[in-house]
Amino acid sequence: MATTQSRQGKDAGTLYNRGLALLKAGRIKEALDYFNKAIEVNPQLVEAWVNKGVALHGLGNIDEALKFYDKAIQINPKHAEAWTNKGVALYETGRVEGALECYNNATKIDPKFTLAWNNMGVALRKLGRYEEAAKSYDKAIEIEPHLASAWVNKGAALSQ
């Protein structure tokens, strides 16, 4: 029995990796097929759920993508990337407070996740909370000093 489970896990991983390669190549619909197959083999493979959301998001199906980010978070509530991707989707649909909550969760899980800190700054700036936004950008810069977007965003927050 253990052999079958480990083989299934490996097969799911292989399917997921193929999907990820296709996603990075811009072949989004093909990538979705592989993420779906990986999920069929291993429904607990969080990364497949997250990247299925990323693929759907890339196709403009943001509300659908949110369902898959939520599923990933349900499987693993400590998955910082799932929280950050959910935040991006919420932000893009005008739900800035919800996005901010997601970025906050992501930075609590992974305090060195620069994308979450930078995105938190963007959300705070959108809400007119410029001083807090600048502090979020500072955290991103502290972790990754060469992150140009954090420097640019910090300048925009400070100029308000």
Mean pLDDT, the chain, whole residue set: 94
pLDDT digits (tens, 9 = 90+) for 29-84: 999 999 999 999 999 999 999 999 999 999 999 999 999 999 999 999 999 999 99
Alpha-carbon gap, residue 95 to 41, rounded angstroms: 34
User: At the top level of CATH, which class does the domain 1-76 belong to?
Assistant: mainly alpha
> Domain spans of the chain?
1-76, 78-160
What is the secondary structure of 13-67 as a DSSP string? HHHHHHHHHHHHTT-HHHHHHHHHHHHHH-TT-HHHHHHHHHHHHHTT-HHHHHH
Query: Looking at the whole model, is its pTM more than 0.85?
Result: yes
- Within this chain, domains 1-76 and 78-160 share the same CATH topology: yes
Superfamily of the domain at 78-160: Tetratricopeptide repeat domain (1.25.40.10)
| Residues 103 and 83 sit within 8 Å (Cβ to Cβ) | yes
